Chains A and B, each alone.
Chain A
Amino acid sequence: MDHRPPEIAEKLLTKLLYDDVWKTTLGDFEEHYHHLVETEGKNIANRWYWSQLFRYAPSKIVHKFYWSVSMFKNYLKIAFRNLKNQKSYSFINIMGLTIGLACFILIGLFIRYELSYDSFHTHSERTFRVVEQQPENEYLGSNWFAITATAMAATMKQDYPEVEYAAYFTNSGAILRANNEAFDAYGAGADGDFFNIFTYTWYRGNEATALDDPNSIILTQSMAETLFGNENPIGQTLQQVYPNGRETEKTVTGVVADPPKNSHFDFQYIANDQTTPYYEYNLNEWGNTNVYTFITLRDGASAADFSEKLPDFANTYTASSQYYQDNPDGLPNYVLQPLEDIHLTSRHLNFNPSAAGSMNTVYMLSVIGIIILLIACVNYMNLATARSLTRAKEVGVRKVIGAYQSNLVMQFLSEAVVISFLGIAGAVALVALLLPTFSGLVERELTSQIFLQWEFWGASLIISLVVGAFAGSYPAFYMSKLKPILILKSQVKGGKGNAFFRNLLVVGQFTITAVLLIGSIVVFQQLQFMRTTDTGLNREQVLTVSNRDPELWDRFETVKTELLKNPGVEMVSSSQMNPIYMSSSTRGTEWEGQEENEELTIYVSPVGFDFTSILDLEVIAGRAFSPDLHKEMEKDYLINESAVRELGWTNEEALGKSFQVWGNDGTIVGVVKDFHFQSLDQPIAPLTIMLGPEFTHRHVLLKTNGQNIQETIAGVEHVIKEFSPGYPFSYSFLDERYMNMYNEHIRLGTLFNYFSILALFIACMGLFGLATFITEQRTKEIGIRKVLGADVIQILTLLNKDFLKLVGISFVVAVPLGWFLSRYWLEDFAYRIDLGPAIFLTAGVIVFGIALLTVSAKSLKTATANPVKSLRSE
């Protein structure tokens, strides 16, 4: 036969006529086809063959659909019946999935939020920040900087046609004063195409021209309300007070909606930067970096191509500055950082406008979310296969009646999907309940707005389908393979392979849980360590009041006297920087005995008298500052032990040596014991404390006696306001500030602990379900054992042994894993806890104890039951 019917049509017909077991119809078609080929020709024969397909298709498809729907209805009915009959089993499954899915959804929402940063700007995908690496300038552990020179934006726009918009902004914050009331405001000085690059909702004013005038300022809606109430703010004037105390008058030219929180910088005002002090100077000084530079490339321009031009740019402009002519090796490398990536890829950059997010956190939470969901899925797999015996008869009968394996797979899969649908319904409710708490914990603005988005519901639907299919897959294939003859002859035992797989899953679950638990203990202890460790500086009851009024310092002696009249105040001093975070460093140091080319990078802290005593800094050699011994023309310097070591001296040798910082000649009068003047992430670096001119100070430090705090603060406020009207009063306690530094660590640690506990909880629910089932199966055996004289302890041991063995194995696997991961995490901290055996023992005791309690809850009941009850039924 050299003629064959059209292949595709034949394949389709074969599929369609699935119930034609003997394929006689197909044979008829083929025979007739050949007949037609011979009598009418091949074309007509082909056409006829195809027409058969279309003639049969509709009725067959309807037929098939009808039956699958009716079978599906039956599956659902059986599924719900099983749910109702096995209440505790259903509860464990649904509850586990609810918690697992809720964690997964919450984490998903957080990650989506993290990834959404800055994408609300119209041209966000072609906007870049220019950041720089200064090869010779390492600061706080990194030589990368988010800030660049003031002139860069305008120069780039002028030189490169592919730059469509360019702008910079500073992020200094200011005091805004209107109608004789002063407010601390965060915001930026900006220039250029700022509002073309960053697009906001405008309530008032003209977006295109609002920033043009040097005296213009744009406020957010809430700032405008704070300053001007219900009046129309446009055209109103206000005083902007720069950090150095200089004031300018600004006119409001625009009001924008409060910017979305998923932005890498936040503001309450944007002011034209041209009136800022040193504007002209900065504009001509490429060696000074103090602004964030942004460019938007033209549509279609390649960022990679543009990046290649940046070295030339540095050679042309940056290298021309006096600073880089003196230090040619320090010439910065410029790099374009995509606007949308700034939030998650700026950890290594110094001077971020606000705390950057962390890609590692995103990864870590994704892994935890998936793990918790997996643990919940494993519960389902385990319980469903363990219970396969109770469903075996049903499987046998269905098979005998004519169900294919595929029908049974479908049935058990749809059962799993039903459970996962119920799980997700609970999860969504739980998410709605927990969202505000969670949102506070991660410090992100996650609102119930998400429930109005179809993506949320679509994603939930897909997740529950995937989870149901995944969790149901193993039980479905396992159960559908059961042999009807064996089942109906009652010869099916929970097979060896099945039990092995189940044990493997339990071990997996508990390994993960134990690792998470070890992790939480490590995180908890590290946080505890940071909270309580002696940083060498007394933070207790030290009040810091920030002061921006230069005139206050002129009368500071009087202010001090007034403040000390307050019975709650024991000591008063001042400092340029916050004593727990001193961040200003210099390389312009000279000292006695300095070799040629020898350099020292040292942190410099200008302070007032009594600084060391207010903070209980220990002077281990020489003396502290003293008003009596202080000579006007020559500076007294204190240096810390690290600086002494770096300079190769002993503490005693250091005393009396001449020392110079920022061109101020002076003498080292004392050595202070090393203390942490930065976060514990950082090692203690060389530091010098000097008596600094008070007008550069930003903080008044007060030691309180710890009693009647509110009264003391009110008294302090009264004095400060009296001497410095027109400035807002803002204060904080040093220990609070200290804790705030670790806010993110604490937040993450707390989150991690919650998730670990939930994982442990879900895993234990699964173990409980498994224990319940297996114990029930052995009720008769236990009855007989008791009749024959076994006591409760023996039976408990018998029942618990198997489970505890599994938990034991898990723990053995978890210890090295947990150790490895904890060590990795701890590497971020310069000062950290030791990973001692106590941590692992604690985790072990907790996991073991909880597992034992869980299993015993069921086995104890069986072990103490009257054997008559279990044996009577037969």
Chain B
Amino acid sequence: MKLLTRSEEYILLAVFKLGEDAYSIPIREKLIEITGKNWSLGAIYMPLERLEKRRLITSHFSESTPERGGRHKRIYSLTEAGKESLREIYTVQQTIWQGVPQLIFGAA
């Protein structure tokens, strides 16, 4: 399976962490919080759509709220495949980072 990109990884993590509240607006806020960088709404729609196409996440429509002008939310959640790919990227990263922190940051 194709490995996740960085942004996909972040988004999956954000979706996972937000649980039942995982829709575009909080996801964006979470990403800004995690990365400390500004994310535009557009910048998360595309990866979300891609991830859904790859069946790593699914979505359903939930209730509407007045601040949304009475429109629905699209709530995302991780599929088993999504969780699996997170696990995989985690393993890859662990392997890659092995021994490196001591070289860069000095001994812990």
Residues of A near any B CB (own CB < 8 A): 1, 4-5, 22-32, 34-35, 52, 55
Give the dominant DSSP class at A's interface. Answer: helix
Whether the Cβ atoms of A30 and B25 lie closer than 8 Å is no
5 A-B pairs (CB sep. < 8 Å)? A24-B74, A26-B69, A28-B24, A32-B25, A34-B67
Kindly report which residue of chain A lies nearest to residue B72, judged by CB atoms.
A22
Whether the Cβ atoms of A27 and B69 lie closer than 8 Å is yes
Quick one: given A28-B41, A32-B41, are A23 and B25 in contact (CB under 8 Å)? no
Chain B CB within 10 Å — which of A23, A26, A27 has the most? A27
Kindly report which residue of chain A lies nearest to residue B24, judged by CB atoms.
A28
Chain B CB within 10 Å — which of A1, A28, A52 has the most? A28
Kindly report which residue of chain A lies nearest to residue B44, judged by CB atoms.
A28
Whether the Cβ atoms of B73 and A27 lie closer than 8 Å is yes
Whether the Cβ atoms of B67 and A22 lie closer than 8 Å is no
Q: A24-B23, A27-B73, A35-B25 are in contact. List 20 more A-B contacts (CB 8 A).
A: A4-B69, A22-B71, A22-B72, A22-B74, A24-B24, A24-B72, A24-B73, A24-B74, A25-B45, A27-B64, A27-B68, A27-B72, A28-B24, A29-B41, A30-B68, A30-B71, A31-B68, A32-B25, A32-B28, A55-B42
B61 contacts the other chain (CB 8 A): yes
Size category of the binding interface on chain B: 10 to 19
Whether the Cβ atoms of B69 and A30 lie closer than 8 Å is yes
B66 contacts the other chain (CB 8 A): yes
B25 vs chain A, min Cβ distance (A): 5
Chain A CB within 10 Å — which of B66, B69, B74 has the most? B69
Q: Would you give the 0/1 interface string for B28-39, flagging 1 where the beta carbon is closer than 8 Å to chain A? A: 100000000000
Whether the Cβ atoms of B61 and A31 lie closer than 8 Å is no
Q: Top 3 nearest A-B pairs by Cβ distance?
A: A27-B71, A27-B68, A24-B74
Kindly report which residue of chain A lies nearest to residue B28, judged by CB atoms.
A32
A399 to B41, CA, bound (A): 35
A65 to B15, CA, bound (A): 35
Whether the Cβ atoms of B41 and A24 lie closer than 8 Å is no
Whether the Cβ atoms of B25 and A24 lie closer than 8 Å is no
Whether the Cβ atoms of A1 and B72 lie closer than 8 Å is no
Whether the Cβ atoms of A31 and B45 lie closer than 8 Å is no
Quick one: given A30-B67, A31-B67, A34-B67, are A23 and B72 in contact (CB under 8 Å)? yes
A52 to B43, CA, bound (A): 12
Whether the Cβ atoms of B42 and A26 lie closer than 8 Å is no
Whether the Cβ atoms of A28 and B67 lie closer than 8 Å is no
- Docked complex: B25-63 residues within 8 A CB-CB of A: 25, 28, 41-42, 45, 61
B71 vs chain A, min Cβ distance (A): 3
Residues of A within 8 A of B28 (CB): 32
A293 vs chain B, min Cβ distance (A): 75
Residues of B within 8 A of A32 (CB): 25, 28, 41
Whether the Cβ atoms of A1 and B66 lie closer than 8 Å is yes
A44 vs chain B, min Cβ distance (A): 14
Kindly report which residue of chain A lies nearest to residue B74, judged by CB atoms.
A24
A5 to B24, CA, bound (A): 18
Residues of B within 8 A of A55 (CB): 42
Residues of B near any A CB (own CB < 8 A): 23-25, 28, 41-42, 45, 61, 64-69, 71-74
Residues of B within 8 A of A5 (CB): 69
A23 to B64, CA, bound (A): 10
Residues of A within 8 A of B61 (CB): 22, 24
Whether the Cβ atoms of B67 and A26 lie closer than 8 Å is no
Quick one: given A32-B25, A35-B25, A55-B42, are A24 and B67 in contact (CB under 8 Å)? no
Quick one: given A1-B66, A1-B67, A25-B45, are A31 and B72 in contact (CB under 8 Å)? no
A52 to B45, CA, bound (A): 13
A19 vs chain B, min Cβ distance (A): 12
A22 to B69, CA, bound (A): 13
A24 to B71, CA, bound (A): 6
B83 vs chain A, min Cβ distance (A): 24
B77 vs chain A, min Cβ distance (A): 15
Residues of A within 8 A of B72 (CB): 22-24, 27
Residues of B within 8 A of A30 (CB): 67-69, 71
Residues of B within 8 A of A22 (CB): 61, 71-72, 74
Kindly report which residue of chain B lies nearest to residue A29, judged by CB atoms.
B41
Kindly report which residue of chain B lies nearest to residue A23, judged by CB atoms.
B71
A34 to B61, CA, bound (A): 21
Residues of A within 8 A of B71 (CB): 22-24, 26-27, 30
A26 to B45, CA, bound (A): 12
Kindly report which residue of chain A lies nearest to residue B40, judged by CB atoms.
A55
Residues of B within 8 A of A52 (CB): 41-42
Residues of B within 8 A of A31 (CB): 25, 65, 67-68
A201 vs chain B, min Cβ distance (A): 67
Kindly report which residue of chain B lies nearest to residue A27, judged by CB atoms.
B71
Kindly report which residue of chain B lies nearest to residue A55, judged by CB atoms.
B42
A438 vs chain B, min Cβ distance (A): 64
Whether the Cβ atoms of A28 and B25 lie closer than 8 Å is yes
A35 to B65, CA, bound (A): 14
A851 to B74, CA, bound (A): 65
Residues of B within 8 A of A24 (CB): 23-24, 61, 71-74
A26 to B70, CA, bound (A): 10
Chain B CB within 10 Å — which of A22, A25, A30, A31 has the most? A31
A720 vs chain B, min Cβ distance (A): 100
A1 vs chain B, min Cβ distance (A): 6
A4 to B70, CA, bound (A): 12
Residues of B within 8 A of A23 (CB): 71-72
B28 vs chain A, min Cβ distance (A): 8
Residues of A within 8 A of B66 (CB): 1
B24 vs chain A, min Cβ distance (A): 5
A244 to B72, CA, bound (A): 100
Residues of B within 8 A of A35 (CB): 25
Kindly report which residue of chain B lies nearest to residue A5, judged by CB atoms.
B69
A49 vs chain B, min Cβ distance (A): 11
Residues of A within 8 A of B64 (CB): 27
A466 to B44, CA, bound (A): 47
A55 to B45, CA, bound (A): 13
A5 to B70, CA, bound (A): 13
Residues of A within 8 A of B41 (CB): 28-29, 32, 52
A364 to B31, CA, bound (A): 77
A25 to B69, CA, bound (A): 11
A26 to B74, CA, bound (A): 11
A30 to B23, CA, bound (A): 14
A488 to B83, CA, bound (A): 44
Residues of A within 8 A of B65 (CB): 31
A822 vs chain B, min Cβ distance (A): 68
A28 to B69, CA, bound (A): 9
A34 to B69, CA, bound (A): 10
B15 vs chain A, min Cβ distance (A): 15
A28 to B41, CA, bound (A): 8
Kindly report which residue of chain A lies nearest to residue B26, judged by CB atoms.
A31
Chain A CB within 10 Å — which of B23, B28, B71 has the most? B71
A3 vs chain B, min Cβ distance (A): 9
A23 to B61, CA, bound (A): 10
A5 to B67, CA, bound (A): 11
Kindly report which residue of chain B lies nearest to residue A4, judged by CB atoms.
B69
Residues of A within 8 A of B74 (CB): 22, 24
